[in-house]
Structure 1
């Protein structure tokens, strides 16, 4: 049975997931246990990310312990120390659907924007969990790099005391077998 595939993403009011240089320092002012990230990550059995996100994460020091990760890339990249990494040049949706069988826990599509966009377009994402941060960056790395035509259904919204808003959407996109 395939696992639930979730894109869990923090995004600025104007739709950016990182600053132009890839920095996510804008998130530092909004750190909080209210978002239950630790509960989320405890339920993650596998990660999926693009090469730019992988390189950025490796630059911070691999924070995901032994959770296996699939990196979507056509380039040769080094394996992060202490990490279990598979690399794939397969199309995003196909790669995610194949990889979701490695775990019974949820699969987290970490990013970046190109991967999230392609995964939504292909119907590979089941749940989009957005944390809308009360800051406008003006420029940066966009969450969506192209229009995503599949319908999303808002199933939950929650406002936090620091101005962050959680939007939980499910996809109604028919999935290819």
Structure 2
């Protein structure tokens, strides 16, 4: 913890400051997200045309923070398992600038790889883990399968077409 507080992040403007905790739990504060800026038209179109969107807060090893929006197309029913499958259309990444109080759209996170799933999101350096594709977002979900998205080329790479049937699969951050 940077400042001995727990934070709650909400993808919208929900009033997280109304949450009261018991006296045995440390203070909980709303996480302040800054307004988005510099969003290209094609990225706005991606957002508008996506049926499902999920937002994540991710912190890099160096302390930079990103808001990542996972955009998915409408689902289709998988005959083999009778579950709804969605196609990943892309990701929008915004780097938070605490000085300017803005979230700037970016397609370049350098050597970093962002991991998203049903559990905690995290970020690692591709240099430290050979085989990872730098400047990419890795994703997993029972409704999407496993894959990664190259930010610079806006390309989705499916690592599995259909995730093995399970309640949840979770990325686990490597132990340092």
* Bucket of the pairwise TM-score, normalised by the shorter protein: under 0.3
TM-score for both structures, normalised by structure 1: 0.25
Q: Give the strand-richer structure, 1 or 2.
A: 2
TM-score for both structures, normalised by structure 2: 0.25
